[in-house]
Structure 1
Amino acid sequence: MKNWLAENKGFIVFVLCLGVFRTAVADWNPIPSGSMRPTLLEGDVVFVNRLAYNVKLPFTDIVVAPLGDPQRGDIVTFSSPRDGTRLIKRIVGVPGDRIEMHGDKLTVNGVVARYDATWAAPDPVAPGRTLESVHATEHLAGSERAVQFLPQVRARRDMAPLTVPPGHYFMLGDNRDNSEDSRYIGVVPRELLIGKANHIVVSADILDHWHPRLDRVGKSLD
């Protein structure tokens, strides 16, 4: 064992440094599901800046120092407060915001989002299986984003008003009718935020024989 450690100490140091880098500085996150469609597709791999909000002790959720405030509209990775699963969603509510939904329409602080540029298209949900989806541009609080809805799917389209408590954030998937987000898992405490997703690094269509999607490489998520 000692001989093996001596012969491979360079590799061991490299692996340890890579682990610290990925848990404290930057990371990449594969997208396994369609909960962020149409912004993120299954098979996208996104770059995650772990220093966007907090400095944490490596391999822990212990915040050493805050670096920046998460903003409404940021796409973030975080650990689910329910079971620790790593998720990626969009922040739609920051501390103090009053969030509600009626018929899939999002309301923040009494302002109802505006939806336009709507169009329908078949959306792949599994190899060889599609569902009719409705795409739209959502406008709210001076920002906009592409979202989609699945009318054929049973989903939580209504939510009673909720005020986001201090130090917590309300998350939604852009694929509003197919996302396990704060409507189901609750608001997310800041210490469970992992980082901000900035760009798509690589992309391949996992529903169609892993064909590369070169047009998505390097796409900004700002």
Structure 2
Amino acid sequence: VSVIVFSLAARSVIADHYYIPSESMEYSLLVGDRVLVDKRVYGLRLPFTNIEVLEGRSPERGEVVIFDSPESDVRLIKRVVAEEGDRVEVVGGKLLINGEKLPGDMSVDHEIFGERTALLNLEAGGGPDMKPKIVTEGAVMVMGDNR
């Protein structure tokens, strides 16, 4: 019994694995891929609670994050595309951060976020245009790589 409790607590606090169920992150992550997640990066909390024991850092642009959808009981995996204070818009299917297109080789659909490169699936045109939005304090903006 103690081994089971320890295993559940470790999955709740330290690390867990997730299965990729959809195409939202193609071509970086494919349907059926499995990912291992280090949950300590953004802070350590007591198992089975939201009580934070050690403060972590905030997600950074380019990182892939897993979170529970605020609209349903679905767990989502997306890429952080903008941080607090950034101005974000989509024009002609291209993501603009603070008025600048993200760097990348136009012969290959990808975006570069500092040291991280995201492979994109833009076969559907990169998604609908989005009017400029400012990312609010304490928040990040996420998108799938399959746009």
- Asked if these proteins are the same fold (TM beyond 0.5), I'd say yes
- After the TM superposition, which residues 156-175 of structure 1 pair with which residues of structure 2 at under 5 Å, given as runs? 156-175=127-146
- After the TM superposition, which residues 56-75 of structure 1 pair with which residues of structure 2 at under 5 Å, given as runs? 56-75=45-64
Which protein is bigger by CA-based radius of gyration?
A: 1
Cα offset, 1:117, TM superposition = 4.7
**Cα pair 2:62 2:114 within 8 Å, conserved:** no
Q: Give me the TM-score of the superposition, normalised by structure 1.
A: 0.60
- After the TM superposition, which residues 47-86 of structure 1 pair with which residues of structure 2 at under 5 Å, given as runs? 47-86=36-75
Cα offset, 1:165, TM superposition = 0.9
Q: Which runs of 5+ in 2 are unaligned?
A: none
- AA aligned to 1:51 is R
Match of 2:14 in 1: 25
Identity %: 37
Whether 1:43 and 2:32 are equivalent positions in the alignment is yes
Task: Name whichever structure is richer in strand by fraction.
Answer: 1
Task: Name whichever structure is richer in helix by fraction.
Answer: 1
Query: Which of residues 102, 110, 129 is equivalent to 1:137?
Result: 110
The root-mean-square deviation of aligned C-alpha atoms, in Å, is 2.0
Q: Which runs of 5+ in 1 are unaligned?
A: 1-11, 119-134, 177-222
Q: Report how many aligned residue pairs link the two structures.
A: 147
Which SS does the other structure have where 2:141 is aligned?
Answer: strand
**Cα pair 1:99 1:109 within 8 Å, conserved:** yes
Match of 2:105 in 1: 116
Deviating above 6 A after TM superposition, structure 1's stretches of 4 or more consecutive aligned residues are none
**Cα pair 2:62 2:113 within 8 Å, conserved:** no
- After the TM superposition, which residues 10-21 of structure 1 pair with which residues of structure 2 at under 5 Å, given as runs? 12-21=1-10
**Cα pair 1:32 1:43 within 8 Å, conserved:** yes
Match of 1:202 in 2: none
Q: 1:15 to 1:171 in 2, by over 3 A?
A: same
Q: 1:157 to 1:140 in 2, by over 3 A?
A: farther
